[in-house]
Chains A and B, each alone.
Chain A
């Protein structure tokens, strides 16, 4: 991990001749299979590869935002494939519509995480050892450290070299350094001190926690489930598989995970902005009032559900994700019997809730009936006499429908979308194009279909709520690991790892000479501040006035106990 610690100044304009790093060199060693494997492993776990994979991950995530994705917008993907018959399938083959579950995306992040493990493990081992061993031996020439200072204790103070070293060790200890006094039996005793082990611990914690996040995300996909249900006012949903409109189980889901609670939608109240002109009619609030029971025999509770404020029940969360109108209609068939009665869920298509409506009446006799059209909460008529919706509130509700008779095509076994009507085997009997005209109904109005085909009446309006129901046992672990990662990151970025050495000596004239040096591992812009604090503490301890003497470096030469050995040896323990 030499690369992570050694940071040489670059971009200074002077190209210094750097020896090539052996670990990431490009020459293939001739070591057989095992050697090749080792070489590949070292490549993979090198910092350069980690960086490359990270940047690759960023690039690989982008296409998912450019093209529609199946999990979130399946119909847009279908449309895209229809619009691009040549390039579409090719893109599909490259999984460009399923980027985040594609093999190539997975390959990148799995390689990244393998690299990460290969990075973290040896580093953790090295660091565990470092944490248990004494600070490195005192460098011969402290004056070559990044920060350096001296203190001269006057003769007659009664503080000899040994006492001074112990005092210095005490000061460093109180500053929470780990200290080690050495060479007491020589005439140059010294103390080595180190602080900031948590920086590396933070870094390791951060990277390890990222693995935890990934694992937790995978886990939550396995055991969780999610489902959708559209509930009209007055209807009740019981949490069983059969009651869901759509249901997406995790891979390890079994049906007995479901708690049979029930939720009845009593009322959905929607408020629109009526006070400003600029945003007139913009939704302000959706509030669903529900009666819930934790189980079949349980007590009924009244709960409110809002956007951004899910209701927790039976280990699941219930979310309000959509809403709309469900006009209540009654259809009588040609024989005069009620063939359909109830609320019809419509699909809002714009801000004025111009809502698409499809009614299928398979029980109608002698021929099946079908209706397509729009529900308009507030209908206005434009210049051409066509009705359009102008407000989301039901100020002037109106049904505008075309009617068909014939075969709905429901018996053929082909699954049909409830929101589309297949008119290929049907005859249009009502529309603006026909003589009979389209069906236009206000509440409590009825219309008799032409040709003795029955009648349709518009009985009233209800609202519906689209609910998402989710159970995700893994997400709390995602949060825990994310918080751990955050803590580790902050420790790693904001803590500093430093070493301090203090060396003392008895001068023949009775003074006690003290010199000290500071060294940071990695970048440390606060090292000078630490120097100043230690300098002050030493001076205060020995009652030496803080004059210009002892200022960092300038005066230091006189007391430096020089030797030719470089300081590099001391800091090169990694």
Chain B
């Protein structure tokens, strides 16, 4: 067993602090971006009649499109299509030209959002620094840095940030920044304040290559669940806003123009949740295989196992809801949120307050 390198350990903690500060600034930038954008929209709106702003998708617009081709009109989204369609529209549904929500494609638009760019740049810096912090923590201990809650949490938040940045290269999800980087910030702070544990060796129960397999997949799935949680919350807001606009009320949440419509949020989070669900299935299976190796039984309803199972079933429910009449949309989003709350519960409360075979949180020891 290699010696603990205290210098690396200290360096890691300093880097983590720097990363935390950078995330904090990035968080502020994302929030600022949302505010400036909604103000820009308000200013832009001043020139138009409020009526037009709120009612672009109304009959006249649809009629206009009908001239171009019924198919296009059908696909202008927001329920104006024929109801006999047997499938959900494919990718080219809504280009954002209605001015109520951002385009479905979630591609980068033409408008320049300087502050958002700064926020993303800061996120990149923070993630790189945090990456080094995680690596040095691992080097200090001579093993993967996933042995206690401090380490799960710092690695986990790093993965959330990286997944977010990776998705950003393909989709303009910068509107999610306030949420996602906010959650990352919470995780970094919680790790450093509540879960902090000095670097050390692994207890024998954790010395297994299954730690690497099981925990890495669990952390990655949780990162994806974090993204979809944020999207489902926005979906709920957007759905309410769309309903209120459709019923002729004034658009009160201009900032939500940055956000795609509820349906595309739902569709994207469904795709991500699908991947994350496969990841969670693997987490559960690998956990069972490891439990068989460590304790001689693959399943024993230990508290941690119970909650891993509960999470799995809730997300299975979510996937079913998406295929059940009357359960898509808002209700599915709620299931996605409940699933994520279970993930958080499993990580925090179960680790810290429930006794069980998995009691290696390392907090306070």
Contact = CB atoms under 8 A, between A and B. Distances in A.
A478 B270 CA distance: 29
Interface stretch (A159-167, A283-291, A452-460): A283-291
Interface stretch (A37-45, A126-134, A301-309, A339-347): A301-309
A50 B320 contact: yes
B266 interface: yes
Given A3-B325, A11-B329, A286-B204, A468 B296 contact: yes
Interface string B198-212: 111101110110100
Contacts of A527: 90-91
B135 interface: no
B278 A14 contact: no
Interface in A247-273: 273
B295 A321 contact: yes
Given A55-B317, A525-B267, A309 B330 contact: no
A62 B309 CA distance: 10
A493 B278 contact: yes
Interface string A1-37: 0011111111111101010010010000000000000
B296 A226 contact: yes
Interface in A508-523: 518-523
A568 B203 CA distance: 62
A545 B197 CA distance: 65
A281 to B, nearest CB: 11
A470 B83 CA distance: 60
B16 interface: no
B348 interface: no
A549 interface: no
Interface in A493-552: 493-494, 518-528, 552
A186 interface: no
B281 A528 contact: no
B132 interface: no
A148 B72 CA distance: 11
Contacts of B310: 58, 61-62
Contact of B243 (A13, A143, A309): A13
A210 B292 CA distance: 19
Contacts of A10: 263, 328-330
Contact of B207 (A307, A494, A524): A307
B49 interface: no
Interface in B203-228: 203-205, 207-208, 210
B165 interface: no
Interface stretch (A378-386, A424-432, A433-441, A482-490): A482-490
Interface stretch (A65-73, A396-404, A407-415): A65-73
B56 to A, nearest CB: 13
Given A54-B313, A520-B87, A62 B306 contact: yes
A282 interface: yes
Given A13-B245, A58-B310, A490-B278, A523 B88 contact: yes
A276 interface: yes
A54 B281 contact: no
A146 B87 CA distance: 8
A276 B69 contact: no
Given A275-B3, A278-B200, A148 B71 contact: yes
Nearest to A566: B84
A54 B79 contact: no
The residue among B91, B204, B295, B365 with the most chain A CB atoms within 10 A of its own CB is: B204
Contact of A7 (B87, B242, B290): B87
B198 A276 contact: yes
Contacts of B81: 9
A54 B338 CA distance: 14
A64 B285 contact: no
**Contact count band on B:** 35 or more
Given A54-B320, A61-B313, A279-B201, A521 B79 contact: no
B363 interface: no
A38 to B, nearest CB: 20
A244 interface: no
A54 B316 contact: yes
Interface in A432-482: 468, 470, 472, 475, 478-479, 482
Contacts of A54: 313, 316-317, 320
Given A55-B317, A65-B354, A144-B71, A7 B323 contact: yes
A226 B296 CA distance: 9
B192 interface: no
B109 interface: no
A146 B71 CA distance: 8
Contacts of A18: 325
B266 to A, nearest CB: 7
Interface in B293-344: 293-303, 306-307, 309-310, 313-314, 316-317, 320-330, 335
A151 to B, nearest CB: 18
Nearest to A286: B204
Contact of B323 (A3, A217, A486): A3
Contacts of B326: 48
B317 A489 contact: no
B324 A48 contact: yes
A171 interface: no
Interface string B277-293: 11001100100111011
Contacts of B271: 525
Contacts of A494: 274
Contacts of B194: none
The residue among A14, A48, A308, A552 with the most chain B CB atoms within 10 A of its own CB is: A308
B148 to A, nearest CB: 10
B92 interface: yes
B204 A307 contact: yes
Contact of A557 (B69, B197, B244, B325): B69
B265 to A, nearest CB: 10
A538 B85 CA distance: 27
A454 B118 CA distance: 84
Nearest to A143: B71
B351 interface: no
B192 to A, nearest CB: 16
Given A64-B306, A308-B293, A490-B278, A11 B71 contact: no
B354 A284 contact: no
Contact of A307 (B87, B205, B317): B205
Given A275-B3, A282-B200, A12 B207 contact: no
Nearest to B261: A12
Nearest to B299: A217
Given A12-B242, A307-B294, A553 B69 contact: yes
23 contacts: A6-B86, A11-B235, A12-B246, A14-B78, A14-B79, A48-B324, A65-B303, A72-B300, A144-B71, A278-B198, A282-B201, A284-B201, A307-B205, A308-B290, A468-B295, A472-B297, A486-B281, A489-B277, A489-B278, A490-B278, A525-B91, A527-B91, A528-B92
Interface of A: 3-14, 16, 18, 21, 24, 47-48, 50-51, 54-55, 57-58, 61-62, 64-65, 69, 71-72, 99-100, 143-144, 146-148, 217, 226, 273, 275-276, 278-279, 282-286, 306-310, 317, 319, 321, 468, 470, 472, 475, 478-479, 482-483, 485-486, 489-490, 493-494, 518-528, 552-554, 556-557, 566, 568, 571-572
What 9 A-B pairs come out closest when comparing CB atoms? A13-B246, A278-B198, A14-B79, A279-B200, A10-B329, A11-B329, A12-B79, A13-B242, A527-B90
